[in-house]
Structure 1
Amino acid sequence: LLGLGIGTSASAGNPLSVAGDATLLTHDGAGHRLKINKASASDTASLLFQTGWSGRAEMGTTGSDDFAIKISADGSAWITAFSFDAASGTAGGAAVQQGATDITAGRLARADYAYGPGNLLGTVSETGGTPTGAVIESGSAGGGRYVRWADGTQVCTAEITLTRVDGGRLEASWSFPQAFDAAADISFAALLDADDFAANVTGPGLDGVLAPCVQGISASGANLRLYRVAGGTDFASGDSAACRVTAIGRWS
């Protein structure tokens, strides 16, 4: 039997032809498998969907052993919407994000380009302004704690103990837990711990000192000073004061 036509005529190109509202392939007591075989990887084994005999969608292994879903608006120009690598199983195609900066509407995000629980936190990095690592990095070192964001922002915090240099001031050096990109971009905030001050300063009271100030700022650290009011009571030997400090700048 060289051909079979059901409700229509068979042809050399379509030796099995069926015309009808539906075609049923059912089981014989268990499952049912439709097998489409091709001679070599470069051949085609696929299902083709047509409108008016013009192709609109095709799925299968066309020209390789990678499984693909292709679509066409006119039957001539075809787009591979989805493809699956036969060796690795990874997905590609026009419906998948094409690069780390691709935000085309309607495309599916790739795990190595999108952010989620597995890569939101970690070591931040960037190349040419584009994040190449995690979104948020945090940690601690001898100089306190730090947080880095993928946009280049860095915040360092610490509690520093200022000790007496002379009767006029207390002072301490702060080495940042992580260096900043440049000293010129760093902003500071410093607050005295009032309870600690009352317990550890026997010279001037809180109303007898100025606000803490920062000097000698570099990308890696700064000096903090606490001056008494001019003409006021000197700091006594052994006086110290805890100061909570915050530095905000850029790591990149």
Structure 2
Amino acid sequence: METILRGDDVRSPRYEVAWERPRAKQWAICVFVINEGEKIRKQVRAMAEHAPLVDVIVADGGSTDGSLDGALMQEAGAKALLVKRGPGKLSAQMRMAFDYCLAEGYDGVIVIDGNGKDGLDAIPSMVELLENGFDHVQGSRFIPGGHHENTPLSRYLAVNVLHAPLISLAAGFRYTDTTNGFRAYSRRLLTDPEIGVFRPCFDRYQLHYHLAIKAAAFGYRVIETPVSRVYPATGKTPTKIKGFGGLFAVMRQLVETCTGKYDTDA
């Protein structure tokens, strides 16, 4: 298949459409991944169970481990494999995925991490909530019906004592699990110029926070839905945030987003 290059590093980072097939569904689910090895291969195969509901799109941040290819996409019945070639981290991957999904005509986009921690059984409820007109659906392991295992104490405290309270205060809506990347967004939310998703300032982790805040603050329909997140019982905690410097950078981005740095009129 011929590689197609899109993006301009402004609206979205430059990216390759490394593999694709025609759109088949109303909704897409985008998997954000970089160098997850066998975990992402297992997850993509497992997501084939939900093919009747959603088109699966893998949004790769530039993996170098050889874990993703067209053969896997074909086997799993996926819609597309996007590979970021331009600058930025998670928020840049998100802009890449949203650029592609809006161009393909999807009415809403579910997003999920590609490290195998999230329970895929919440996908149908995400779709149902989008179908019922919700614009921002936040997955939460901390509400009735949610589930979490082996959550590091530092993560638990960070979410419940700092992260969720700050975003809830800025949004005017009580969120309980604001670091959870299992979410869903409507097309009308993603295309609102006052929210301004497609800006290069969203290059690290800010876009998740910005969307959660502005969706509620601007009167869009917002809801949390139960999800499951299971960390490994042993070994290193899966994370792309490295060391004290990485943690400090994330906290700075959180405070900046909550205080309006990324507002379109800032």
TM-score by length of 1: 0.22
Q: Which has the higher helix share?
A: 2
TM-score by length of 2: 0.21
Q: Highest relative contact order (Cα 8 Å, sep 6+), 1 or 2?
A: 2
Computing the radius of gyration from Cα coordinates, the structure with the larger value is 1
Higher strand share: 1
